[in-house]
Amino acid sequence: MPPLETQTETSEQVTIVGASTENVRSLEDDNTDEDVEGVELVPRQGQAYSSTHNLLDDSTTITFHVDPGADLKLELLKPGIQMLFNHFSQSIASIMVIFDTGFNGYRNFLLPMAYQDDLVQRAVSVVAAFHLSTKRPDLVPLAETGRAEIIRRLRADAFAKDSNGVFSTSTWATIILLLVGETVTGSRDFVHLYPMLTNLLSHNRLLETEMSAERGFLLQQSRMFQLFTPPLLDLSQGCKTFEKDLNFYLDFIFSQHYPDDPRVLENTVIFREAIKQAKNIYMRQALNDYQQGQLYADIEELRRLVLPIHADSPCMHTLPWVYFVAAASSKNQDHRNFFAGRLAQVYEKTRMNSIIVALERLGQIWLLQPNGEWARNPSLVEPVLII
């Protein structure tokens, strides 16, 4: 039997997901006796069975090791779920890393994990369904139901006497995925999800566990959310975040092995320096530390810094936080237009609704805080999660 081939999101195939609750059971169906077409299970001595799938646009083959005793081994390979997994791999995993080359933890770690873990499977499916809902709005209630059930289970685990589930890799991965989902939807529910992540990371038990490659990836992604989320919530959280050296957070850039390409190195340096400059602008505004003309000079320096990043640059989607901080802090209309335009370009590539919400917030900020003093009171407007 040949490996399962990549499914594209044609209207006929997408209908498999949302046509009836029998196919996806609101993304909450755990068991099925349906036969799975197009999947080859190959016995491996001393290991779980291995299923091979072509998930990527370039037909790269990824092998997932699926526990043959897992309840989900058939459910996960139903056409609707498989289509969601394919969409996650092609359209979400690729924009959650700076350069989608070599190892991509969202594709090479979280997706295989979702083939064995119920909670992670649901989270991946929910995120993909939300992202697809721009074309298939009927997926929204299914995704919302799935997300609510995931959060219910996380809370139940948190109050359970046995805390093993609370500190598990599964829980950690699920929270990261839910936060990714908030960037997809632009919802403000991240203000409730983000504390789950910080509470998880505050327990030494989690970080004292041997740091496998998988947990290392989750820690890198956690640091990314820890860097970009608090400054947009309120001033005190922003200042506390920036008390730490930026190197504490930037593992998600420099821990990856990138191709030996001068352009990649150049863009990585730009990314790091742009975050540093945006952080300096945020803090100087927050502390009212600007003299006449200095704010314009700092934002102009940032504009010049990111000019080499074009709409077709592989990493162009990675700077929305920088663009938002610069636009929100600017008094100059040309600067506002430039950075808002960059945000619009990011949306064209990612289709993340958080970018649309961020552009709406900028209009409110410019009206309420026209002199660039936004960082002194970020909570004056509704928060948005921009990664």
Residues 176 and 96 occupy one common structural domain: yes
Q: Is the pLDDT of residue 96 over 90?
A: yes
Q: Which residue has the higher pLDDT, 110 or 63?
A: 110
Residues 114 and 63 occupy one common structural domain: yes
In single-letter form, the type of residue at position 191 comes to: V
- Domain closes at, from 158, 187, 216: 187
How long a stretch of residues is the chain? Answer: 387
What's the number of domains the chain is made of? 2
Residues 54 and 154 occupy one common structural domain: yes
- Domain closes at, from 154, 187, 220: 187
Residues 242 and 156 occupy one common structural domain: no
If you average pLDDT over residues 85-103, what whole number do you get?
89
Q: What percent of the chain is modeled with pLDDT above 70?
A: 73
Residues 171 and 254 occupy one common structural domain: no
Q: Is residue 169 part of a domain?
A: yes
Q: Is the pLDDT of residue 106 over 80?
A: yes
Q: Is residue 220 part of a domain?
A: no
Q: How far is CA 24 from the centre of its chain?
A: 23
Alpha carbon distances (Å) from 352 to 43, 68, 163: 40, 36, 34
Q: Which residue has the higher pLDDT, 297 or 24?
A: 297
Q: Is residue 32 part of a domain?
A: yes
The 10s digit of each residue's pLDDT in 142-154 is 999 999 999 999 9
Residues 140 and 80 occupy one common structural domain: yes
Q: Is residue 151 part of a domain?
A: yes
Q: Which residue has the higher pLDDT, 278 or 14?
A: 278
**Alpha helix positions (H), the chain:** 11-18, 21-24, 79-87, 105, 111-114, 118-132, 139-159, 169-185, 190-201, 204-208, 213-228, 235-241, 251-254, 262-286, 294-306, 320-329, 333-350, 353-368
- Domain closes at, from 131, 157, 187: 187
Residues 265 and 365 occupy one common structural domain: yes
- Tell me the three state secondary structure of residue 250: coil
Q: Is residue 219 part of a domain?
A: no
Q: Is residue 222 part of a domain?
A: no
Residues 161 and 259 occupy one common structural domain: no
Q: Which residue has the higher pLDDT, 54 or 187?
A: 187
Q: Is the pLDDT of residue 303 over 50?
A: yes
Q: What percent of the chain is modeled with pLDDT above 90?
A: 56
Residues 138 and 234 occupy one common structural domain: no
> Do 264 and 272 contact (CB within 8 A), yes or no?
no
Q: What is the pTM of this model?
A: 0.79
Position 30 scores a pLDDT of: 38
> For residue 127, what are its two tokens?
């995120």
Position 73 scores a pLDDT of: 40
C-alpha span between 119 and 121 (Å, rounded): 5
Residues 256 and 358 occupy one common structural domain: yes
Q: Is residue 176 part of a domain?
A: yes
CA neighbor of 327 nearest in space, from 294, 292, 361: 361
Question: Which domain range does residue 182 map to?
Answer: 11-187
CA neighbor of 109 nearest in space, from 119, 125, 98, 120: 120
Residues 175 and 257 occupy one common structural domain: no
Q: Is residue 217 part of a domain?
A: no
Residues 137 and 235 occupy one common structural domain: no
The 10s digit of each residue's pLDDT in 334-382 is 999 999 999 999 999 999 999 999 999 999 999 999 988 999 999 889 9
The 10s digit of each residue's pLDDT in 11-61 is 333 332 333 333 344 443 433 333 323 322 222 222 333 333 333 334 333
